[in-house]
Amino acid sequence: MLCTTSNGMENNTQQNSYSNNPNQGQDRGGGNRGGGRRGGRGFGPRGAVKSEFDQKVLDIARVTRVTKGGKRFSFRTTIVIGDGKSRVGVGIGKGKDVAQSMQKATNKAKKNLINVVTLNGTIPYQVESKYNSAVVLLKPAKGGVKAGGPVRVVAKLAGIKALTGKLIRRTNNKINIAMATIDALKKIKAIKEIPKVQEVNLVK
């Protein structure tokens, strides 16, 4: 009788302790699961490949198209990309949100890449180009890029170290200025070496 009573009391005490601490047996398991989640946050793609092109957002605008059913809003993004090694391109993309328009603009810029001819970190000779309302004049220079706005962005991403850029017709349209700069850089051709004139000895 005494043994039974003592066992019953022990069982009661254990049940009371479990009832007071219902999560006592789950501390280890819960701790492991929590630790697993905390450790899992660090997992992700390692060694992600960096793009060979640097990009610069030139302009983001919200555009509206009026239809029969009402107005439709979208975003237009202009992006300049370049590898800093004579390749540069400009792309314009439209989308329902900014991310979509940026992705489209980047893809178009990659399709419109051009190779820029440089000589000692600058352009070989003076060149001028017109695109819509923008007229851009580019000159070779020394001591850095002396230009502002879209001309500077295009020149830097193309890898040009020194340049003087001037807007002959001033306009606030960044897209026209960037496209005029691209057209001007397209006109530059490699300077071919002029063959030396051989002297001819006249025989009397």
The radius of gyration of the chain's CA atoms, rounded to the nearest angstrom, is 34
User: Residue 149 contacts by C-beta under 8 Å, 6 or more apart in sequence?
Assistant: 174, 177
Q: In what order do the strands lie in the sheet with 87-95?
A: 54-67, 70-82, 87-95, 114-115
As a whole number of angstroms, the distance between CA 160 and CA 72 comes to 41
Instruction: Write the CATH number of the domain with boundaries 54-186.
Output: 3.30.160.20
Contact predicate 153/175, CB 8 Å: no
Average pLDDT over residues 96-107: 94
The answer on pLDDT for 117 being more than 70 is yes
Contact indicator for 144, 161 with CB cutoff of 8 Å: yes
What angle is formed at CA 25 by the lines to CA 19 and CA 29, rounded to 5 degrees? Answer: 145
H helices of the chain, where?
Answer: 2-20, 27-40, 98-111, 150-157, 174-186
Residue 126 phi/psi, 5-degree rounding, is -75, 140
Q: Is the pLDDT of residue 158 over 80?
A: yes
Residue 129: pLDDT band with limits 50, 70, 90: very high
Q: What is the mean pLDDT of residues 159-179?
A: 90
Quote the tokens at residue 120.
Answer: 């000692």
pLDDT band at 192 (very low <50, low <70, confident <90, very high): low
Other Cβ atoms within 10 Å of 182 Cβ, number: 22
Q: Domain residue spans in the chain?
A: 54-186
d(CA 88, CA 114): 6
Q: What is the mean pLDDT of residues 166-175?
A: 88
Q: Which phi and psi angles does 56 have, rounded to 5°?
A: -140, 125
Model's pTM, two decimal places? 0.67
